[in-house]
A and B are shown apart, each in its own frame.
Chain A
């Protein structure tokens, strides 16, 4: 299978997909991600806009109808959640190596 353009997920994409498990607009996403990452990831406006466009293109997130007519709100789709699940598995494998599960010494 050909590797997907967005995989493995970049830090930005990863955090956005995780943050959008609940519906949020762009700025709220940035705030949530800053909180989730304990202040280490602060996504800038252009990066956020581009990431949203990209994720929409692959239907990993979708717009949600809201009362706010000016700001678009998005949420991770079922497809996006599948991507997250696959990424979780991949990262867990890596983590288990860190923890010495493959018989080598712990890092």
Chain B
């Protein structure tokens, strides 16, 4: 089974995956962009946790994985392109990845660093592609800037259309990517604040 779902909040994503597990659907793969594959499982006593580690070099990654595996966690996938690592294991009473608040806070800090980096980058790109005449995030047609493109016909239309399509896609998708990463940053920031407060109390 394949499901499509977008999350700004890594904790909500984790909750959802555990909810699926409790209904007998074990996640087998996560494809960036919000696609999750599931397979039916009889083993309901499993738990899945999401960790975030940015830019692990090859040797660091094998060291990281070995340590988690020693603790009884199994990796959902070999590699991670966006820095999130999905771990699952059978429930045995030690079902958390973090046993103190410092390390939980550190995870949010890594996530915030990552999402703010991308949000800033997308914002810069957005400014580079931005035009005052067109506001295009709701209609991809508006992301084509060629004058009179939609009145052209036949081969000239096809040529101009295909020529501009990659640019139009970039123009169309950039605001959304910016809002998504910025949203992720904001949500993680509130998570971070919340765990700081727990720490003080």
**A contact residues vs B (CB 8 Å cutoff):** 10-12, 25-27, 30, 41-52, 70-72
Contact = CB atoms under 8 A, between A and B. Distances in A.
A44 B107 CA distance: 14
Contacts of A42: 94, 99
Q: Which 10 A-B pairs have the closest CB atoms?
A: A46-B97, A27-B70, A45-B71, A44-B99, A47-B103, A26-B67, A50-B103, A47-B99, A45-B68, A46-B98
A50 B71 contact: no
B102 interface: yes
Q: Indicate the member of A27, A45, A71 with the most B CB atoms within 10 Å.
A: A45
A51 B70 contact: no
Interface in B26-85: 51, 62-64, 66-68, 70-71, 73
A45 B100 CA distance: 11
B199 to A, nearest CB: 11
Q: Indicate the member of B62, B67, B68, B96 with the most A CB atoms within 10 Å.
A: B67
Interface residues of B, number: 21
Contacts of B94: 42, 44
Q: Indicate the member of A10, A12, A30, A50 with the most B CB atoms within 10 Å.
A: A50
Q: Indicate the member of B51, B87, B97, B99 with the most A CB atoms within 10 Å.
A: B99
Nearest to A50: B103
A99 B90 CA distance: 46
Interface string B97-116: 11110110011000000000
B66 A47 contact: no
B100 A10 contact: yes
A35 B73 CA distance: 22
Given A46-B107, A70-B66, A71-B66, A27 B99 contact: no
Contacts of B87: 45
Contacts of A26: 67, 70-71
Nearest to A51: B103
A66 B70 CA distance: 17
B52 to A, nearest CB: 10
Contacts of A52: 67
A30 B103 CA distance: 15
A43 B70 CA distance: 13
Contact of A49 (B62, B64, B96, B100): B64
